[in-house]
């Protein structure tokens, strides 16, 4: 299947151009996802609202998996990675907008908040573990007391 980048309509692979959009390029679903473009079945009557944001692609992926596991349709859209911004300010980091249908937003926001806490706890634990390891190796490496 291929999808129109303009309107998200689905087409057979043999079709060369969108019937509705003369400029509409047809691409595979992977490309649609990479560009954060919703496909036709994702832009139906439902209204997608922001349930949260992620600061890196791994977190965005984690959120998407989490919401999909709860059977909540989700779109992760990269934001703020414009090359112009990056040139003028030098340090614009991309972030990801996590979108869910409005009727799922309350639950999704709750789930993402909890997941964020989990990730933070895991991170803190990893830092603690790394510090412990450092202390241990320092201990072993220390010269014997005189
Ligand atoms: Zn189209």
In whole angstroms, how large is the CA radius of gyration of the chain?
22
Number of domains in the chain: 2
CA of 78 to the centre of ligand 1 (A): 22
The residue among 4, 30, 7 whose CA lies nearest residue 15 is 4
Instruction: Look at residue 77 in the predicted model and tell me its pLDDT.
Output: 86
Residue with the two structure tokens 């349709």: 73
Q: What is the pLDDT of residues 36-51, one digit of tens each?
A: 887 776 665 568 889 9
Q: Are residues 58 and 107 in the same domain?
A: yes
Residue 134 Cα to ligand 1 midpoint, Å, equals 57
Q: Are 18 and 66 part of one and the same domain?
A: no
Q: How far is the CA of 40 from the centre of ligand 1 (A)?
A: 10
Cα of 43 vs its chain's centroid, Å: 18
Contact 103, 140 (CB under 8 A): no
pLDDT digits (tens, 9 = 90+) for 86-100: 455 555 567 889 999
pLDDT of amino acid 91: 55
What pLDDT is attached to residue 80? 65
CA of 110 to the centre of ligand 1 (A): 35
Distance, CA 4 to ligand 1 centroid (Å)?
Answer: 5
46 CA to centre of ligand 1 in angstroms: 19
Question: Are 50 and 105 part of one and the same domain?
Answer: yes
- Distance between Cα 108 and ligand 1 center (Å): 30
Residues of the chain with pLDDT under 70: 41-46, 80-93, 138-146
Give the pLDDT confidence score for residue 145 in this predicted structure. 66
**In this structure, is residue 57 part of a structural domain?**
yes
Residue 142 lies in a domain: no
How far apart are alpha carbons 26 and 17 in whole angstroms?
6
The residue range of the domain holding 93 is 45-122
Same domain, 72 and 107: yes
Task: Give the per-residue pLDDT at 134.
Answer: 83
Q: How far is ligand 1, taken at its centre, from the CA of residue 33, in Å?
A: 16
What pLDDT score does 56 carry? 85
The answer to whether position 135 is within a domain reads: no
- 18 CA → ligand 1 middle, Å: 5
Q: Provide long-range contacts, Cβ within 8 A and 24+ apart, for 78-84.
A: 78/36, 79/53
* Pairing mode of beta strands 10-11, 48-54: unpaired
Q: In what order do the strands lie in the sheet with 75-79?
A: 48-54, 95-101, 75-79
User: Does residue 38 contact residue 79 with C-beta atoms inside 8 Å?
Assistant: no
Centre of ligand 1 from the C-alpha of residue 6, in Å: 5
Q: Are residues 23 and 91 in the same domain?
A: no
Tokens 């709860």: give the residue: 70
Q: How far apart are the C-alpha atoms of 98 and 115, rounded to whole Å?
A: 13
């Amino acid at each position: 299947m291929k999808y129109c980048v303009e309107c998200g309509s689905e087409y057979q692979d043999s079709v060369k151009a969108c019937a509705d959009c003369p400029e509409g390029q047809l691409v595979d679903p992977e490309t649609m996802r990479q560009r954060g473009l919703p496909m036709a079945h994702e832009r139906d009557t439902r209204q997608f609202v922001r349930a949260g944001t992620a600061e890196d692609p791994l977190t965005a992926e984690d959120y998407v998996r989490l919401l999909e596991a709860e059977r909540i349709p989700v779109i992760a859209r990269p934001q703020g990675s414009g090359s112009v911004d990056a040139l003028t300010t030098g340090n614009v980091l991309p972030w990801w907008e996590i979108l869910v249908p409005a009727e799922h937003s309350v639950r999704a926001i709750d789930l993402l908040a909890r997941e964020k806490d989990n990730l933070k706890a895991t991170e803190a634990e990893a830092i603690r573990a790394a510090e412990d390891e450092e202390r241990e190796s320092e201990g072993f490496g220390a010269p014997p007391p005189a």
